[in-house]
Structure 1
């Protein structure tokens, strides 16, 4: 159990402990990470095609992803609203002109197309494709190593994290309320408790949760985790502009781990520069906690 946990977490910590790289090298790391997301999702789609009793499995994926996403997001929003009531987030900055939300949503939908492409190729049952799951494992290790480099490259120190109290508060509320939602989802779906908790531990990081859950629980739960977290990102893109003026903590918490990268431009343009530091700290904490919790609950 713990050897598997160590194998998953070791690349992340090795990448994080390496000395910070220069700007040019970090741009290369970010570029490779972007490609790795597509590669991993493509192989996840191939693995999905090799499931026995495929039609019933697809219905199960839809059911698991919708129920878990609903339970987790409702618990997140309720807890974040309680945080806002107890600790109001006052601000004075005016929002900027927003980027095209449709374009950003289409970027997320494109990821579903990559999974679908792998799935269609897997239906051919071509013999070399049986190694897709093993390739996915090695790709996951490389992804975690690159994520460790990326987190270190952001230059975030413990002091900076602790001093940004708002980012820390929102991140911790998201973690505990998501886990509560995972418990409710596991009861509603009749899944083991640790499976529900693992499903709740992605915090919107679909590329990581999809492959880690596939390796631990099989392609049905892995695919459900992917769509669960992808749905979170799509909702964040759509709802941030309408939420952020009165419910800044809810808008930030809805982004999950993506608040330090993909949804950061939407947060910045909707809420002003004042929210950026909190968003980076919030995303950094969730990006660090997500693989730890998924590995723990999946071990």
Structure 2
């Protein structure tokens, strides 16, 4: 049952064994990871184009996206304010405005890449039988690079374990996302483990979409990508609104992106005290995305 999970998970583990001290190599790996994400997302678009009854499948993607997004976000926002009540956090006033439009543009680029792959597959008479195999091999390389990035992120195990706010926020996101995933699976009448796997993206839209697409096909992959992308876009708007009064809620809703993409928003609007909390909670969630998602995928198959 776990053989498929271990086969995919192995590159991540192997990558995590590498400690790099050369900055140039680290930067090259970071760039290569970004390029591979664009490549594999374009292949996801091609996979969508190869589907039979494409219009009906697009309706299913939209339906899955809406139900999961509402269930996951609702469950997160129902419990996160309790963390603010039990563990109040003092923040600092915002010092400058953020170019939210330019940050959101990065998310739009990824949508364009998927859409471009879809249009190419629809408009050009090309054989698409090779797409799934190519996606799997690129996924292995991508997971290997992600493992290296996680190992060289600069956080030690002690720093993670000693940050109470970060650990509690991550735990609440995991627990409430599982509840939301179960509710969405019940509403959509899909398998429980399918729902739990879909709930394990935590905002990492590129990897979540890739893993779900490889495991369950482009319908689940496309829906997972959009669910987590919507989380990030909503977080960009929500963080400046909530972080002064409910900082744990704002940081928690950002999910895995709190350690990278939404971190500048958190730092500028909430102050430096929020940065280690955001990094730790985001790191824990990022680390667990492939672990939990592949675990539930193995149980569903």
Per the normalisation by structure 1, the TM-score is: 0.97
Alignment of 1:124-139 (within 5 A): 124=123, 126-139=125-138
Are the aligned partners of 2:93 and 2:244 in contact in 1 as well (CA < 8 Å)?
Answer: no
Q: CA deviation at 1:105?
A: 1.4
CA offsets per residue over residues 104-150 of structure 1, 9 Å max, x none? 11221121111000001111464443211111111111111111111
Greater CA drift, 124-133 or 42-51: 124-133
Q: How does 1:175-186 map to 2 (within 5 A)?
A: 175-186=174-185
C-alpha distance in structure 2 between counterparts of 1:265 and 1:99, whole Å: 8
Partner Cα separation in structure 2 for residue 244 and residue 66 of structure 1: 26
Alignment: residue pair count: 298
1:292 and 1:108 map into 2 onto residues whose CA distance is 24
Q: Gaps (5+ residues) in structure 1? A: none
Distance 1:157 1:139 in 2: 29
Unaligned runs of 5+ in 2: none
Which position in structure 2 is the counterpart of 1:79?
79
Contact preservation (8 Å) 1:98, 1:266: no
Task: Determine if contact 1:50/1:125 at 8 Å carries over to the other structure.
Answer: no
* Aligned counterparts of 1:250 and 1:279: Cα–Cα separation in 2: 11
Aligned to 2:9: 9
CA deviations 1:136-193 (Å, max 9, x no partner) are: 1111111111111111111211101011111111011101101110000001111111
Question: Over residues 9-50 of structure 1, what are the superposed CA-to-partner deviations in whole Å (9 max), with x where a residue is unaligned?
Answer: 111111111123322221111111111211111000000111
Distance in 2, Cα, partners of 1:21 & 1:33: 18
For residues 41 and 172 of structure 1, the distance between their equivalents in structure 2, rounded to whole angstroms, comes to: 29
Alpha-carbon distance, 1:61 to partner: 0.3
SS in 2 for 1:245: coil
> Which 4+ runs in 1 deviate beyond 3 A?
124-128
The reply on whether 1:171 has 2:153 as its aligned counterpart is no
Aligned position for 1:30: 30
- Match of residue 48 from structure 1: 48
The answer to whether structure 1 residue 189 and structure 2 residue 219 are counterparts is no
